[in-house]
Chain A
Amino acid sequence: MSAIANAPAHDHHDDHGHHHKETFITKYIFSQDHKMIAKQYLITGLIMGIIGIAMSILFRIQLAWPEQSFWIFEALLGKWAPDGVMTPSIYLALVTIHGTIMVFFVLTAGLSGTFSNLLIPLQIGARDMASGFLNMVSYWLFFLSSVIMISSLFVEAGPASAGWTIYPPLSALPQAIGGSGTGMTLWLVSMAIFIASSLLGSLNYIVTVINLRTPGMSMTRLPLTIWAFFVTAIIGVVSFPVLLSAALLLIMDRSFGTSFFLSDIFIQGEVLSHQGGSPVLFEHLFWFLGHPEVYIVLLPALGITSEIIATNSRKPIFGYRAMVASILAIAFLSTIVWGHHMFVSGMNPFLGSVFTFTTLLIAIPSAVKAFNYITTLWKGNLQMNPGMLFSIGLVSTFITGGLTGIILGDSTLDINVHDTYFVVAHFHLVMGISALYGLFAGVYHWFPKMFGRMMNKNLGYIHFWITAVGAYGVFFPMHFIGIAGLPRRYYTNTEFPYFDDYADVNVIITVAAIITAIAQLVFLYNFFGSIFYGKKAVQNPWKSNTLEWTTPVEHIHGNWPGKIPSVYRWAYDYSKTKENGEYVIEGQDFVPQTVPLQENEEELNH
């Protein structure tokens, strides 16, 4: 099937490069080339990331030194910080927009968008995505939704401030909180466009992986990155439309007087006419996306690390089939565990039991993945490139954050830690930090492919080590104040003298957060500096097996100058030896996928 689909595309592409001239606009702005679109996603994602992280620093300062005056508040927040003191309403808005930006704009679009676009065609041996045009539309919808989200920061009554989960009625009623007026409308419009963008992207990825694999690239020879992107795209297609429906129903409740989520509300001295709706319905719809979203964020990061750990360990990834099975199992289970966010929402306790069961099941494939990573390192020849460091860091935070999931996924234990800082610590480590590490690992590793230059490794080391220590410094102590009963999303804890002796911990967390954020400036400097002044890259700097390293350093439309390469083996023949104990290719500890089976070489089942 894939061979048939390839043949005509092949003919068409052979004479590429002759028949149309690229202008600045078609090359850099409305580009249909997947490599350029990947870069657009990355840079947009990074800019959104800067905004999102800056917001977190602002509210961390408020949490450490509550209700004190800071010039930075006055400078950045203006009327929301009279005399430099942050107001409760902007605090909630910052928390909300930080969550939204980081989850959707940085870790969904910035991570999956960047690397799916860059790597899917390159690693499966395709000239481009199945539809370059849809791919371009997908990026520009993402860009538009980013612009709308940012513009919502400037509306009169403030941006959305009902938390990134936007539970109604708080998000539906401007009377309940200022941000639920125009700010919330813009949030919903932005997210609706974002979902459209994500769907276009995901459908494109799925079609491309199924149809455009080069001859010889069977599904079991796909690098794990592609498996991860492929399955991520499927989860996205299954779950994002549900969020869209939730958003549409919420828009109707807000603007057209329907009562899907609203019932029996008395606010600001009057009874609203809404009757019969249920906020719990919204919670179900939201988390039907919201939970798979965690894996939409995480799976690409795990795929990227699988590839980078194998390459830099100079060893095949341990248990390839188990890794693929884990990805599939996680993807399947991720769609039936959403109720663990709702154990105390008022839904039937029996449902809670079912969701506890499915949730703790998901720990099994996750554990298999963690063990397989550790075994991949065992007896390797580890090349400590920055990408590798971030990959090991990811495994570390994935384990730490994943383990606390066993507590939160247990309906009983969730009762007393639900919505406390324990939850904040858990999900930041397991999805936030882990996925960010995946993003960084990917950027360091594929920077030469994207920009034809190398990033500075020493700055990479500085970046990694400060970030690694800082991230644990931020989130490890958080578990303890959470388990002590401190609720999240509190503007200040000073109203409860009982919490007074946790104040020091909050200062430590904030200081760690600020140091970690500053370390990201090192990354930004390295990233943007290396685009222009980095050392010129060689074709295959990491001595990797996958197909993207067989393309020339200079980007060309269509990826390979001549014929597209054929594939004869899986992507993980690192340090493979023949029966006589010599490397398969003499003097070289890797065998690219394009190399046919050699004499005396044992054939694996791939």
Chain B
Amino acid sequence: MTVFLVIIVLALLAVTAWQISKIFQMSKRPDADTSQVANDKDNKLNGLLMLGFVIFLYVITIYCFWEYGRFYLPEAASDHGSEYDTLMFVSIALIMFVQIITQGLLHFFAYKYKGEKGKRALFYADNDKLEFIWTIIPVITLAGLIIYGLFTWSDIMNVDMEEDPMVVELYAYQFAWRARYAGDDNTLGKANVRFIEGVNQLGVDESDSYGKDDKIVTELHLPVNKPVLFKFRSQDVLHSAYFPFFRAQMNVVPGMITQFGFTPTITSEEMRQSEYMVDKVRSVNEVRKERSKALMAQGEPTLDSYEFDYFLLCNKICGQAHYNMQMKIVVESEEEFNAWLEEQQTFGALMASQSENVDRPEDTAGDGDTDTPAETREDMEEDENTEEPQESDAVAVVEKK
């Protein structure tokens, strides 16, 4: 609120300044220049301001790189990520170089050649050589960037099936994610939203034997240094699976299966220990502590302190709770991963337990109520997931409306 007041004060100051300028203008001597066309004085002032402006640009550039450059994501946690980062740094270096030179020239010329009465401009309409040079330089630079980029692109997008990647389905719905592991056969059972019924919330085809050993979970675990191929499926609208720490993203499109593959290289624990993340978490927690103080003063519950975990977020507008459609990702050693996966229930077992329970009256009542899969989730074990309370938040928001 205080900041808002500050804004109002600033606004009023601006209005005052403007009013004062009006007064000055009205009190001008009648013989003053009133043509409203720039005169030498205006040219000089604005020329100087142009010079000031480019200095301002340089200053905010340096400030932003200095102060906000540290926001750049930590070291990529995937195999292809380092290639991505290299290409990114090369491109940023290149565009900053061009930016500094061209902005400098533009504003410096604006200052240097500010108009004066009686001065003559140079009649200079054409120079083929010059134009050729600055056509060919971008051509060569961009050709290099294009070729570099395309090699990286095809590296990333072409999944090497010979490496036998682990197949995982990521299933998106308003407003959460599920993951389906393909099981021992590494083949996902067929699925379609038309099969959604009762506890079969992902619409896996029960008649497909490949689906029997699939495992459906609410938290994504990945073994380190093992290629993963994600198959994306959406239940309702467009979503986008965005893995910022792994430099990976793919839209999730209803009616079609999209894919993206990568190899995680840094475990959650290693990332937590990294210098970058220790600093980051410290600064986040400082912010949270400040905010908690304010909350406490208002008698509201305070914020928990933050511990880093990889996350997956939705990056395509998908509805009201789009801003909170996330999933925790755990990258761990292969042994830990296998142990975790072992504990998960297979789809076959899940369906079997449902048919056992089918006589129970409350369950048949529950069948009609498949509003969102989140609500019929009691069959899913593994309740350490973090998004559970947030998910119900999302639902609450929808209901509030």
Residues on A close to B: CB < 8 A?
Answer: 61, 64-65, 68, 70, 87-89, 92, 162-163, 167-170, 173, 176-178, 262-269, 271, 275-280, 312-322, 344-346, 349, 352-353, 356-357, 360-361, 363-364, 367-368, 370-375, 377-385, 388-389, 392, 395-396, 399-400, 403-404, 406-407, 410-413, 415-416, 418-420, 454-459, 461-462, 465-466, 468-469, 472-473, 476-477, 479-481, 483-485, 487, 489-493, 495-498, 500-503, 505, 507, 511, 514-515, 518-519, 522, 534-535, 538, 541-542, 572, 574-577, 589, 604
Contacts and interface: CB of A to CB of B under 8 A. Distances in A.
Interface of B: 1, 3-4, 6-7, 10-11, 14-15, 17-18, 21, 25, 34-38, 42-43, 45-47, 49-50, 53, 56-57, 60-61, 64, 68-69, 71-73, 84, 87-88, 91-92, 94-95, 98-99, 102-103, 105-107, 109-110, 113-116, 119-127, 130-131, 134-135, 138-139, 142, 145-146, 149-150, 152-154, 156-158, 173-174, 192-194, 196, 203, 232, 235-238, 240, 242, 244-245, 247-251, 253-256, 258, 280, 283-284, 287-288, 291, 303, 306, 308, 311, 313-324, 326, 369-372, 390, 397, 400-401
Given A485-B73, A501-B283, 19 more contacts: A87-B401, A264-B254, A266-B173, A266-B203, A269-B369, A269-B370, A346-B251, A352-B153, A353-B150, A382-B113, A382-B115, A383-B38, A410-B87, A411-B150, A457-B38, A461-B42, A487-B313, A498-B306, A589-B121
Contacts of B196: 266, 271
18 contacts: A68-B1, A87-B400, A173-B236, A176-B236, A263-B254, A264-B192, A264-B194, A264-B255, A278-B255, A356-B150, A396-B107, A477-B68, A480-B71, A483-B72, A484-B72, A489-B322, A497-B306, A575-B123
Given A177-B320, A346-B253, A519-B14, A400 B121 contact: no
A418 B315 contact: yes
A173 B236 CA distance: 9
Contacts of B303: 497
Nearest to B325: A495
Question: Counting chain B CB atoms within 10 Å of each CB, which of A264, A316, A456, A466 scores highest?
Answer: A264
A458 B47 CA distance: 15
A266 B95 contact: no
B78 to A, nearest CB: 11
B122 A380 contact: yes
A537 to B, nearest CB: 8
B113 A377 contact: yes
Contacts of B99: 399-400, 403
A419 B240 contact: yes
B11 A379 contact: no
Contacts of A349: 153-154, 157-158
B145 A384 contact: no
A363 B138 contact: yes
Contacts, number: 424
Contact of A495 (B50, B156, B253, B326): B326
A427 to B, nearest CB: 16
A519 B21 CA distance: 14
Given A176-B174, A318-B126, A495-B390, A473 B106 contact: no
A170 B234 CA distance: 12
